[in-house]
Homo-oligomer: A and B are copies of this chain.
Amino acid sequence: MNPSSPDPLPFHEHTARVTRELITALVTEDDTDALAAQVADIAARLSAAAADPHGVTVEDPHEVPNHIPHDITPASSARNAIAPPMAIVPDGDGYRCDLTLPLQYQGPPGRVHGGIVALMIDHLLGHAAGMDSPRRSMTRTLTLDYDGGTPINEPITVRGWIARREGRKTFLEAQILCDDEVRVRAHGLWILPREA
């Protein structure tokens, strides 16, 4: 019924994982020589995999059944190194994603960038709006209330659910939690486009 899970190829997924390490190194290491040593090591690993791309295997592959065929989004795609990537799973009447974000997602010191918070919520709510639909709904409005900070390098949970439906309109709500405390609340409206 729904288009099935994305199908990142092992070489794509492996390379994206190594690229995420490279991004972390870039923002973590201030010293040029120390960074150069890390980059040299990562380049060697990229090069080795590229020499035998069909021999690459991935431990614990990222599999997220969703409504985005061939997912390349910066939120949930295993092959997009911008994406953490989010693994969204059903949770009661809604969906959730548990994850820990490294330093490349930081805004204020120690906190996830407010825009990355918005990215995760928008993506999870789009997922919730679209999972039982043959087509993808589009964000119409989204409001975020930042009650508290969302920490970097600590486990956080993004939760979202459908509040109500009116024809092609779906109203949704979300939260980000840390230590069982709500840090961010959000609500928004998604619209299912008319058939082309």
Query: Footprint of B on A, CB under 8 Å?
Result: 9, 11-12, 15-16, 19, 22-23, 26-27, 30, 32-33, 35-37, 39-40, 42-44, 46-47, 49-51, 53-54, 70, 72-75, 77, 79-82, 103-108, 113-116, 118-123, 126, 136, 138-146
Contact = CB atoms under 8 A, between A and B. Distances in A.
Contacts of A47: 39-40, 43-44, 47
A103 B114 CA distance: 22
Contacts of A51: 36, 40
Nearest to A118: B118
B15 A39 contact: yes
A54 B68 CA distance: 43
A40 B44 CA distance: 9
A12 B40 contact: no
A5 B82 CA distance: 24
A72 B35 contact: no
Contact of A74 (B43, B104, B136, B146): B104
A178 to B, nearest CB: 16
A170 to B, nearest CB: 14
Contacts of A75: 113, 115
Contact of A141 (B32, B70, B146): B146
Given A73-B113, A142-B114, A80 B46 contact: no
Contact of A43 (B36, B46, B107): B46
A50 B36 contact: yes
A186 B120 CA distance: 18
A35 B72 CA distance: 15
Nearest to A149: B138
A148 to B, nearest CB: 10
B107 A118 contact: no
Contacts of A33: 53
